[in-house]
Structure 1
Amino acid sequence: MSVRDRLHRRLMDELTAGGALRSKEWRAAAEAVPRHEFLRGGFFRRVPGGSSRAAWRPVEENASEWLAGCYTDESLVTQIAGTIRPEDVRGEILREPTSSSTLPSLVLRMLEEARIEPGMNVLEIGTGTGYSTALLCTRLGDGSVTSVEYDQDVAARAHQALAAFGAHPTLVSGDGLHGHPDNAPYDRIISTCGVRTVPAEWVRQTRPGGQILVPLAGWLGAGELVRLTVQEDGTASGPVLAGGVHFMLARPQLPPVLGLLPDLSGGKERGALVGANVLDDWVTRFVAQFAVPAAQRLRLSTDGRDEHVLIDVESESWAALHEGDGHWTVRQGGPVALWDAVEEGLGRWRAAGVPGLERATVRVTPESQSITWPPTTTPAPPAP
């Protein structure tokens, strides 16, 4: 057995033991797809320590650690700043990643959670390296798989890797938020990028009874997998598959640049029912995002006092909170009272007894996106 085969087999065993691979069918597909073939050209590894901004160093294909890295259960960055590839860099680079190969355990968990079966017509949003696309083709056949990639350079590389592997699905270069109506209706849509709001086009292009598996994320920085079932009335709803996931957001849904901050000294001030520190918790942030989906969060030091700020660039609304003597105060400006909305959304969650996200249901309509919980008789804990 070659070194590559041993590394591949070890990874498959780890994923099976860890529960990412639960069915023999997806294990067979994963065993048939060599991940390293979709990482030709190398990848970036994060440099430990250093400044507050992440630094990345290239691991090229001829490096001794490249093959072993391909068969570790970790996400591997393949593009930085929208254009920069590993072969373009010598040394380190301080820019943001824009494309990656998601860790295999999460890729396979998503394929298992999507409940995909042979005979289904599947749309994948975010081709990336093509690795997950190859898994779908191996299980379903090329004719049942359509994959859309936003970045033309990433799409071209994926096309080359898939062709070399022997897979020839329908590959589309364009904005995946519009889906691909030419091959609709789909039995399953699976997104490998995070979205802030589920596009209405995805719901329309999924047959009633079909499902959409998507990492639902937001500009407050928390994301979870959600499995939505499309209804006859054009809505979709389903459970949160709790566990916390972090995906790069679809590029058209990236947050706008904050630019010049509004004057935070004005606005209306009151005592806050909950403090900004509640947003330090991942689950709380995920819930809050439904109340203020266009808000971004930052922390400022003003006159020697720390302030926690939410800003909605689109509506020009803001909320600034600070703590003093054990109490929180909020000032709000603009047409939308952002912290009022946060308190109301978290209040509904508390009224339900602060249930775990695994009990939550997300509902998507053409006009809105909401999260609800079943009623409970358990008293809610006191506010933080």
Structure 2
Amino acid sequence: MQRWKINLTVLWFGNFLVMAGMTMITPFLSLYLKQDLGLTNEHEIGVWAGLIFAANFVTSFLFQPIWGKLSDRYGRKIMLLRSGFGMAIVMAAMGFAQTPLHMLLLRMANGIISGFSPAAVSLVSAGTPKERMGFAMGTLQSGGTAGVILGPFLGGLMADSFGFRPIFYITGSLLFIASVLSWIMVRENFDRSAAAKAPEVSIVKGLRELLDIPQIPVLLTVTLLIQFAMLSPMALIPLYVEKLNVPPETLGFWSGFVGSVTAMSNMICSPLLGRLGDKIGATRILLISLLGSAVMFVPQAFVGTVGELLVWRFMLGCFMGGLIPTVNALLRKYTPDGKESRAFGFNGSALSLGNMLGPVIGGALSGPFGIQGLFILSAALLFATGVWYYFTMAKARPS
């Protein structure tokens, strides 16, 4: 097997383990605060759960460019291992937390040292033939998406069987296994002597150099807007499912299924759209995916049953499979050699910012617009992003 395919296979599995481990705590975080960390007031639990959930994204947003810069200078594999082993230790330590403040600080630490997925994207992109870039990015994305699907399910299952604290130890073990596999099996073609001779560039100057390339700021903005639009209604979907006359005893199942079905179709379509992008062009695939996602959001505001919602959420996931992986493929295409990790680091920051702002602003807008209104707003934002992307990339295209 060719080296780039071996790396892709190992990092697909690593990405799966990392994302499964990171999302295992989602179903029981508030229960962990209540039953193990001593909180009793519901409002207090809600505030702490929100802070703890957001803390990871805040510090990740700040530190991703730093790790991207160091990755270009010292190698992508070492940054991959730094993140993997570091997160394994921090995640296991969460099982020993005694107060909500301990959890908050550990989640902040996790965000600081995180970066396995951006490092994996950078490493795969550096070794993959350019004519197979779309397929590689889509395949790698599908591994993370599979982890997102199964993580909450496995976390909930283990919480019922073992209690909450052992899940953090299991998650840390999964992250450790992913890191060991990457350490042993992944190979990187990186010229450290040439990188050491390259002039030292500050993070701000590095960002300015990237922003001077016309396509890069467009792609970073598209990443931010995609995540914002996708996550704005996400936290309120269980309430929306409840309005669709679902029996109370099955509300949890259907709410989880509605969230998972989008990830399922995303996982299936990411490699397929990536391979199609290699044939007809990633720019076209991204435009089709943006406009298709916008169209799929609209009927979700008018469904009458949970079955109808599942159909449209599944279709949405099909188009979502061509969003972030295609952005990554285009970033690699337009970023000069030796600066790829920095570009993916800034893109990781844009992703984290969208993850932070989407649920917060979506929750605030749900008052005046309602949950149905959030679907329409997400559709409008994605459509506007697609139109803006088309015209700005057309202007940026060299004559």
TM-score (norm 1): 0.28
Of structures 1 and 2, the one with the larger relative CO (CA 8 A, separation 6+) is 2
Name the larger-Rg structure: 1
Question: By percentage of residues, which structure has more strand?
Answer: 1
